[in-house]
Chain A
């Protein structure tokens, strides 16, 4: 057992290294959503309210939508320790990804049908530690990565509850809390609890009181959702990403509405079971996974098939039933959205697939008798996988994902102090997160920003309608959409990307190129122009 814990410790160290190594610089830049979480955490730390002055938000209003709250609340800790940096915003996600390895180990240990549970648990923990999907999302400030940790932990409690029934209410409580970590879990939790009770009714219904307490606790955690439901804020994100409000559906009669919704759902739901989506490179333009890699390494498709075979063989076991149940329900929320295969929305499903692949790897591991052969074969595969991961994530992705993370806007912050005597207008045309990113990195006074943003709310804090056309004014820096009357103002620096100003507009408005900001590959990404209004402006 000591040896197993030592190996687990080594796996945890590897997992932590892969998630925390150069976390402050890779991915290159800071996503608008991450900056929003960071600034809200900073604002809560300093004032007790978010950047709109809202106390204890149940959802954080942000960039035209809402962010689930737990991630932002937890980010207060790293922001208070490490300050306003990229590292602080990504910290909770990286830590969640590391802890997921530990939770997976204990979850896999509960698999009774397996003879050598420790080996299986170590394989599952290792696989999570080095899986491309887990590493990629652990290095981004995404709520879904925290949610998958909480979800896995609640599943562990549910499995434990099959033997120690007193744990059942705690499992329900944790699953209820998970619904405040990410959107997908709201649907998964509602589907999971009744099906779980039904599947294990023979055992659970002997303890009706505990089941009732569990359901009650889960219900209590859903009260904030009910409150938000009345305001429209609860479904704001769903309205944005689902196909339910598309024109095709709105304009059809009820029969065709059901048909179109059914077709869309089936197509998108099944896309999560597509082997090419899971194991091969996606269209890189989607920017959803790593270049040259799928959610899993390609060779793992073989253990997946073996794992499926093992599931089919041990179908009567409650653990296998639970795994199958999870495999069926976890992609449902993502199937309700308009995108075909969007891994971020289905990390719980990828976790389940990792367990099935681990099952297959365990069988493969025992298939080979010779220890030497096992070591050589698995050694080569693991080394090649890590090599592919290094090339894909730490080299290619570092340079090629710069647009999604606003790298150049971060570099711009180093340039702006040279223009303190001028007013700088940064255009937000293609990146709504620019304002909050500048505020976060500048550590702009939250009280001042709250006054500005509160007055710009065009609807109540919680509402179905969330405006994005906000202006951030921070000392001499103004972040908003460029108004072409601006060039008529003296002493102004206009900053934007290459699509903002055409050569004709440079001539027409008498603009002068002051500086350019490169992307990580050295290409010009942002342009700063000074204004020189002529008589024509008057």
Chain B
């Protein structure tokens, strides 16, 4: 298990994303690296690591929410026109189901904003944008590590992923730093993927050697 800690620290610092973060905000980079280590420790089921990881996540989230994406609630003239036209469609097709307080509130407010947040949420799930910050080979490591996490039901890591995805849906992510709250999670997945693949290859090679003998 110590291997995992060492490898995850190595993965955390040996990538382009780390250097971009470091060049722009040293304090944030330190916190994110610390969070990466805590996430690995919580995966290793070290006492209090999960608690500390979640506390640090709350602090990082509060810090991140300073960059709240106001465009989620910005209505452009184009949106106004589109909205007005759709109101006519809803009115024609739904009649009284639309023309009541609840219907009007849902279609004119809830639907527009929820759809924007939903789209932003899925933008965060575009793995391509993260892999550009590592390298093309990282894709394999990441997916193997993610599968390993899913199979082993590491709840803290998965809760971490869900929270960071939700928070990242509310902030500007198309910046040079990207959705950096996910940085520790990616490091964990890649470290796990690297260890799993290394073990797999080692076992495969030693099995071959023993059958040859």
Contact = CB atoms under 8 A, between A and B. Distances in A.
A394 B93 contact: yes
B119 A395 contact: no
B203 interface: no
A276 interface: yes
A299 B3 CA distance: 36
A3 interface: no
Contacts of B118: 280-281, 298
Contacts of B127: 274-275
Identify whether the interface residues of B are mostly helix, strand, loop, or mixed: helix
A294 B147 CA distance: 24
A305 interface: yes
Interface string B106-148: 0000010001001101110111100000000000000000010
A308 B126 CA distance: 17
Name the residue in A306, A309, A521 with the highest tally of chain B Cβ atoms < 10 Å from its Cβ.
A309
A279 B119 CA distance: 9
B126 A395 contact: no
Interface in B143-158: 147, 150-151
Given A313-B151, A521-B88, A276 B119 contact: yes
A270 B118 CA distance: 21
Interface in B55-114: 85-86, 88-90, 93-94, 111
Contacts, number: 57
Interface in A376-426: 391, 394-396, 398-399
A312 interface: yes
Interface string B173-205: 000000000000000000000000000000000
Nearest to B136: A266
B168 to A, nearest CB: 13
A142 B118 CA distance: 29
A395 B94 CA distance: 9
B89 A396 contact: yes
Nearest to A292: B115
B126 A276 contact: yes
Given A276-B123, A292-B115, A521-B85, A395 B93 contact: yes
Given A312-B147, A312-B150, A399 B122 contact: no
Which residue of B90, B122, B126, B128 has the most chain A CB atoms within 10 A of its CB atom? B122
A275 B119 contact: no
Nearest to B126: A276
Contacts of A395: 89-90, 93-94
A276 B125 contact: yes
- Chief secondary structure at chain A's binding surface: helix
A279 B115 CA distance: 12
Given A394-B93, A399-B89, A276 B122 contact: yes
A309 to B, nearest CB: 4
Contacts of A301: 122, 125
A309 B151 contact: yes
Given A280-B118, A395-B94, A521-B85, A309 B126 contact: no
A410 B99 CA distance: 31
A521 B115 CA distance: 23
A298 B117 CA distance: 12
A266 to B, nearest CB: 9
Which of the four size classes fits the interface of chain B?
20 to 34
A274 B89 contact: no
A280 B93 contact: no
Interface string A263-290: 0000000100011100111000000000
A312 B85 CA distance: 47
A272 to B, nearest CB: 12
Contacts of A294: 122
A298 B165 CA distance: 14
B55 to A, nearest CB: 26
Contacts of B115: 281, 292
A493 to B, nearest CB: 30
Nearest to A278: B122
Contacts of A305: 150
A394 B90 CA distance: 10
Contact of A280 (B111, B122, B150): B122
A519 B160 CA distance: 49
Contacts of A309: 147, 150-151
Interface string A313-331: 1000000000000000000
Contacts of A280: 118-119, 121-123
Contacts of A274: 126-128
Given A309-B147, A312-B151, A394-B93, A298 B122 contact: yes
A521 B92 CA distance: 10
Contact of A308 (B90, B94, B147): B147
A451 to B, nearest CB: 45
Interface string B5-46: 000000000000000000000000000000000000000000
A274 B150 CA distance: 19
A279 B147 CA distance: 20
A294 B125 CA distance: 14
A169 B85 CA distance: 56
A270 B147 contact: no
Nearest to A267: B128
A270 B128 contact: yes
B134 to A, nearest CB: 15
Contacts of B86: 396
A275 B115 CA distance: 16
Contacts of A394: 93
Contacts of A292: 111, 115
A378 to B, nearest CB: 20
A298 B118 CA distance: 8
Given A309-B147, A309-B151, A312-B150, A275 B122 contact: yes
A284 to B, nearest CB: 10
A391 B87 CA distance: 12
Nearest first, the 8 A-B pairs at minimum CB distance are: A280-B122, A309-B150, A276-B122, A275-B125, A312-B147, A395-B93, A280-B119, A399-B89
21 contacts: A274-B128, A275-B125, A276-B122, A276-B125, A276-B126, A279-B122, A280-B119, A280-B121, A280-B122, A298-B121, A298-B122, A312-B151, A313-B151, A391-B90, A394-B93, A395-B89, A395-B93, A396-B86, A398-B89, A398-B93, A399-B89
Given A275-B126, A276-B119, A395-B93, 20 more contacts: A275-B122, A275-B125, A276-B122, A276-B123, A280-B119, A280-B122, A281-B115, A281-B118, A281-B119, A292-B111, A292-B115, A298-B118, A298-B121, A298-B122, A305-B150, A306-B150, A309-B150, A309-B151, A312-B147, A396-B86
